[in-house]
Amino acid sequence: MNAPPISPARLTRESCSRRGIASVPAMGLTACLSLLLLTTLAWRNVPLTDPAVGTAGEAFDWASTDLTWWDVQRFKYHAETRLPQYRRQFQEAARIHGVPWTLLAAQAYQESRWDRHAVSQTGVRGIMMLTRNTASSLGIQNRTDPGKSIEGGARYLAGLERQISSRSGHPERIWIALAAYNVGMGHVKDAQHLARRMGKNPHSWEDIKTALPLVSQKKYYRTLRHGYARGWEPVQYVKRIRLYHALLEQYLRQI
């Protein structure tokens, strides 16, 4: 089963406690929350960097990135409380399969919030949310084993990236591979075919992500080999992973 959600009050209380704030008798939850808000407002003005691209982005603003203030606080909380127990496994799997460990960790956060027991309504489970069929193809019997899930997810992602044409440069291939991890390579290839039909570059993630949502529309998917898919989901999936990747890199620079 999924772990119960963390309430804002509990998250704030525990964040304050870790910073020694809650030990001050005169400071209640409201004051603590105000102090955390001021800290976050200062933190948000630090420019984010997309590490895979290596260029600075705009000053962080969760309103424009679909991340709420609590999304950011929850991420920082999980980075402090959950990530340390899996960090070496992410690093080792990333080293073996040639992907940045922070990107792999960001993908896992998007998948499961680094919860080894996470289960979706469709039956995917574990830190990397592997389907039963994918896990079987990777030789994984226990999807809730964090080491096996992380290594298997990294191996699967690297295998998807190898299937992508070299005409897609870096970091385009990794974004396309992440989309395929979410929706399947067949649907990604359909989106590339659509992009080509629309006069766009089928090897550019920026163009592919404009075509992917169209595979949910009948007038398009009935002409495609792999049919219908919720094509807007992989677009959001990749966007969130890139945000979490940037947040993680920033968090690691600050600790």
**Catalytic site positions:** 111
CA distances from 138 to 156, 159, 191 (A): 8, 11, 26
- Tell me which residue of 236, 188, 181, 178 sits closest to 212, measured CA to CA: 188
Cβ atoms < 10 Å from Cβ of 238: 24
Element (H, E) at 88: helix 87-97
How many Cα neighbours within 13 Å face the side chain of 164?
29
Structure tokens at 125: 């489970």
Cα Rg of the chain (Å, integer): 20
